[in-house]
Copies of this chain bind each other. A is one copy, B any other.
Amino acid sequence: MAPDESAHEVPQPASTLDDPTYRTGITELIGILCYGEISACERLAEDATMAPQLATKAEIMAMMAAEWDHFEKLHERLQELVDDTYGFIEQFAPIFDRFHAQTRPSDWLEGLVKAYVGDGLAADFYREIAAYVDPETRELVLETLSGTGHSDFVVDAVRGAIEADPRVGGRLALWGRRLMGEALSQAQMVVAERDALSVVMVGGVDRPELGLPSLDLAGIGRMFARITESHAERMEKLGLDA
């Protein structure tokens, strides 16, 4: 899916960011990722307070520190693109606040499943997006996806809880489906609200001149199929029906 710049005979612009619509879309993308990281840190901080043991609290805090590290990398890049970075990032708060308001965990296990499934979905979605952006942005996006490396304990905790009480499995499976539904509906709203961002994804500017691939309707369909499939694999890993 990497762009094949040599295939185009037209002259390349000095930078794809010279295209104003593309630049706006990429800046919005990084802004969204920034707020997403802050939001993830806040949610993990809440989860940490619910942790039943000090060791699991520490695992959650380590995930939080990893997300913060991602935020700093993204924020550094954003500083090159806009002056008032926080003012810029703040506009994306409603996206995440809506999602979190609709998916407030009622206990520790729901929080764990949300952290695991939510991070996985976000990573899948951003990895898909990465294929449609310039190499520098792609590298940054992929770098901040390099998992927090602390999720094995989530699998153990959820599987352990289901073993102790099988009814927990049914409740958490429903919860997983709700998380997936809300995530998709929020993603759809973002694309609908953000013209420049959707242009980055689906083209609409002279994409071949920018040396970047673009998504057609069939491509969008395949993308959602891939994301749904990965979600099902994650649920299975947790011992839950997707």
Contacts and interface: CB of A to CB of B under 8 A. Distances in A.
Interface stretch (A18-26, A55-63, A136-144): A55-63
Given A45-B48, A86-B53, A38 B64 contact: no
Interface residues of A, number: 25
Contacts of A41: 48, 61, 64
Contacts of A57: 38
Contacts of A45: 42, 45-46, 48-49, 64
A77 B71 CA distance: 28
Contacts of A49: 42, 45
Interface in A3-26: none
Interface of A: 38, 41-42, 45-46, 48-49, 53-55, 57-58, 61-62, 64-65, 68-69, 71-72, 75, 86, 89-90, 93
